[in-house]
Amino acid sequence: MNLFTYEKGFCFVSYLSELSGDIRRFDGFLRDYISEFKFKSVVAQDLIDYFLHYFPHLQDAAVTQREGLEFERWLSGCGPPPFEPDLSAGSTLIGPVQDLCNLWRGANPPDQQSLSPYDLSTWSTFQVVLFLDRMLDHSPLPNELMERFSGSYSSLFDGLNAEVQIRWLQMVVRNTFYPDLPRVRAFLHKHTSRMYTV
């Protein structure tokens, strides 16, 4: 189980957005596509057909066969996506995440005053997930740090979505942080997805 398929899908949808040439019209396409196909099983060709019907000028331009970016290559090819979107605008979201990670990676756990500028309850799910992913990259962590980390965030994480919770609980397990192990059991009883169990 990994996120590569989702990342490749994100890149493909970003590519379709760029092909459309109009972000507002593409957003309308996404809304209409979801409305048209909700509660139905679809295959990739359904998306492509609907996209080309919605943007007929692209069908006339044979965008599905552009060399190196053929739709069939996107769907069936191996390796990284042939197009990667420009994510530079995300740096404003990533900056605070990196700053907070640096605080937690210092020689001593940060105090409440140094943490006060970073209110995770106002962060997007993306930011919290990125923060936890980066902290996971530095596990195992000292027990004293885990105690402070848990005291600062565990009740907040309990109220957030499963993607946040699973990362926090991975930190608990990787760091053998016994006080929060009951949270792991409770999560696995509630979320029986194979992805989370693995």
Give 93-128 pLDDT, tens digit per residue: 889 999 999 999 887 888 889 999 999 999 988 899
How confident is the prediction for the chain on average, in pLDDT?
86
Q: What is the pLDDT of residue 161?
A: 86
Q: How far apart are CA 139 and CA 133, in angstroms?
A: 10
Q: Which domains does the chain have, with CATH numbers?
A: 3-76 (1.10.390.10), 89-190 (1.25.40.320)
Whether the model clears a pTM of 0.75, i.e. scores above it, the answer is no
- Residue 80 zone, left/alpha/beta (φ > 0; ψ -120 to 50; rest): beta
Q: Is the peptide bond before 179 cis (omega within 30 degrees of 0)?
A: no
Task: Report pLDDT digits (tens) over 180-193.
Answer: 888 888 888 887 77
Whole-number pLDDT of residue 66: 74
Q: What is the pLDDT of residue 42?
A: 92
Instruction: Please give the average per-residue pLDDT across 140-158, as a whole number.
Output: 89
pLDDT at position 32 over 90 = yes
Question: What's the rounded Cα separation, in Å, for the pair 87 and 45?
Answer: 27
Least confident of 59-68, 128-137, 144-153: 59-68
Place of tokens 């009951």: 182
Which residues are within 8 A (CB) of 124 and not within 5 positions of it... i.e. 6 or more apart? 93
The candidate with the shortest Cα–Cα distance to 97, out of 135, 133, 131, is: 131
Average the pLDDT over 41-48 and give the result.
Answer: 90
Q: Are 97 and 134 in contact (CB under 8 A)?
A: yes
